[in-house]
Structure 1
Amino acid sequence: MSIRSEGRASGLSLSMLARRPEAGSFVGLVVVYAFFAFLGGAVFTGAPGWSSWLNIAAEVGIVALPVGLLMIAGELDISVGSVIPASSMTAAIVSGHYGLPAPVGIACGLGTGLLVGFVNGYLVTRTRIPSLIVTIGSMFGVMGLTLGFAVLIVGSTSVSLVPDAFTKLILGTFIGGMFNVSMFWWAAFVVSVFFLLHVSPVGNWIFAIGGDRESARNAGIPTRQLTVALYMLSGFAAAFVGILQLMTYQSAQVATGQSFIFNSIMCVVIGGVLLTGGSGSVIGIVIGTVTFAIVNQGIFFSGLDPNIGSVIIGALLLAAVLSNDTFRALALSYSAKKK
């Protein structure tokens, strides 16, 4: 191949990469990390800084992945913020208050998330109520039930649980005293969801539902069953994060998890997923999650006013929405030229 041909191929590759939906997200990640690396210095770029934002990214990232799948399919799930404390409280009551083995409590906690996800999916697919309203309703319903049962059974809004050594090791330990084991679980979720969305045929179904649900149904795609399954996956992921928090801190609190509602959605949007559905990628969601976590912890290491963090995250969100539209227009124009 000649030098001119190699240069042309390289330019074409860069042009194609620039039209990827996560291209703008990656640029934002580089800029944000460079900004806080300059202000935070060696502490932020060293192990303390990396462990800080990776631990944050792992938990919110596990929730953001299935939330991203739902958004690609044109749906929303606001109830994740109530499932996290509900699952941890369920597991803590079963294994902490009643003294049953930890695996039993964990199974009950994860089952809680699956049940909430099933109810959400069933209501969304069987009624004409928008998913936003359905999941807001289930969020408040689960919050109320969690508080009511906790007070009724335990007489408190907090329940402690001391897990056995093995359960603590795989679900709640800190490696080197800094890096939480949840990072490995996040990596496992990333690989699994990547395969689901970008390798398996189900991924095409998800994109089709987000693009045009009626056309997808007419094409034979089981839209109702897939939507219910996606909501159950979202509930499972949120419940799993609740279990991770319980095993890490050995206590379940009723008033936790609310920050995950909008944090997960912000990670997904910053990662290039369109609010209208039908477009997005797992890589983009991961990039958006890391960007959010860096901003979240970078404020602390840089010594800036905490309110600045909200301003930066808000600006990132607006920039992400604008860049999503821009990169999507570029991709569409490129596809049109090829035809």
Structure 2
Amino acid sequence: MAAVGRLRRLLIRPELGAVVGAIVVFSFFATQSEVFRSPSGIANWLDPAATLGIMAVAVALLMIGGEFDLSAGVLTGTSGLVLVTLAAKYGVNVWVAMLIGLAVALAIGFFNGLVVTRTRLPSFIVTLGTFLMLQGINLGVTKLLTGTVQVSGLGKASGYESARAVFGGSVGESSFRVAILWWLLITAVATFVLMRTRAGNWIFAVGGNDQAARAVGVPAARTKIALFMTTAGAAWLVGSMSALRYTSVQANIGIGQEFIYIIAAVIGGCLLTGGYGSAIGASIGAVIFGMADKGIVFLGWDADWFKFFLGAMLLLATLANRLVRRYAEEVKH
């Protein structure tokens, strides 16, 4: 085995491009706006980064495992709708409603994983079908129960205040949201699992070469099902956070966000082909998203430019990831 220096180990890290990008984006907006670099400004752009980061980390794990989940965005809405409907309309305690919502989300994740592993259909197609079904269910059931496309009234439900303090409130008297702490915890746990556990080796193995992984005894099917359920669990957490924060849920919430999750993971170093990436990189990709999202507002620019920025970052990140991956393979040889 050839010795690899510390600098080379740093250069082949998948999140390197995201770190450089985050420094550049922060430096640009911080020099243009005092509000952006103030404590309140930082709290402002960390807020969307936190919920996006939770989902981006889960999606990154799934992408490293070689799969996609296009239903992740709409599932956040489904989870929120289950919570608010049960608690506000039927009087179920918020904590119990959250557990029921978690069970529903995990069942959907299990369904996605089972269909993908049993049929060998592309996860893109399977989860696209789930996306469309959930979109229809969210809209149809919400209209049937309320006559509108919104469910509200969660703030009056039993157990709301305690649940909001844990999942939707702020840290003490500060303007920083509790979601940031959840985001950091999930990133740390996901990084530990990827880098220090057998399950992490399995994730990289099934994403790199599914058939080879099966040949050496890796439980590929179970690993992929677990990854789909992890993404569903993250969607439940984000959906519950949103519902507890705003006390209401729109039937169309979360639609289109699945692409933002994938973009954040790609910016963070994940390859679309699987087998390569990191949880930390996905979180940094979410930070870049949050800084750009709020930074453009702080500077008074037209918000339409954000989409241009997001597309440019995706292309640059994909190119950087490919170069880093190629360099990493040369170092191995």
Q: Which interval holds the TM-score relative to the shorter structure?
A: over 0.9
Mapped to 2, the partners of 1:284 and 1:266 lie a distance apart of 11
Counterpart of 1:298, as a letter, is G
Name the counterpart of 1:3. Answer: none
Name the counterpart of 2:169. Answer: 173
Name the counterpart of 2:280. Answer: 283
Secondary structure at 1:178 match in 2 = coil
Give the number of aligned pairs: 326
Runs of 4+ in 1 over 3 A off after TM superposition: none
CA contact (8 A) 2:138 2:252 kept: no
Name the counterpart of 1:54. Answer: 46
Name the counterpart of 2:68. Answer: 76
Task: Note if 1:230 corresponds to 2:235.
Answer: no
Equivalent position to 1:87, from 79, 87, 90: 79
Mapped to 2, the partners of 1:38 and 1:46 lie a distance apart of 12
Mapped to 2, the partners of 1:24 and 1:128 lie a distance apart of 33
User: What is the deviation of 1:306?
Assistant: 1.5
Name the counterpart of 1:63. Answer: 55
Mapped to 1, the partners of 2:182 and 2:318 lie a distance apart of 29
Equivalent position to 2:11, from 18, 22, 36: 18
Cα deviation digits, residues 190-241 of structure 1 (max 9, x gap): 1221122111110000100011101111111111111111101101100110
Name the counterpart of 1:4. Answer: none
Mapped to 2, the partners of 1:107 and 1:77 lie a distance apart of 22
User: What is the deviation of 1:293?
Assistant: 1.3
Task: Note if 1:325 corresponds to 2:318.
Answer: no
Name the counterpart of 1:30. Answer: 23
Aligned-pair Cα RMSD in Å: 1.6
Cα deviation digits, residues 89-122 of structure 1 (max 9, x gap): 1111111101111111101111221111011101
Secondary structure at 1:252 match in 2 = strand
* 5+ residue gaps, structure 1: 1-8
Mapped to 1, the partners of 2:107 and 2:140 lie a distance apart of 18
Cα deviation digits, residues 129-154 of structure 1 (max 9, x gap): 21001101100101111222222233
Name the counterpart of 1:155. Answer: 147
Secondary structure at 2:183 match in 1 = helix
Mapped to 1, the partners of 2:130 and 2:12 lie a distance apart of 38
Task: Note if 1:107 corresponds to 2:99.
Answer: yes
Task: Note if 1:209 corresponds to 2:206.
Answer: yes
Per the normalisation by structure 2, the TM-score is: 0.94
Per the normalisation by structure 1, the TM-score is: 0.93
- Report which of the two structures shows the higher radius of gyration computed on alpha carbons: 1
Identity %: 39
Task: Note if 1:146 corresponds to 2:130.
Answer: no
Secondary structure at 1:258 match in 2 = coil
Secondary structure at 1:257 match in 2 = coil
Equivalent position to 2:331, from 306, 331, 334: 334
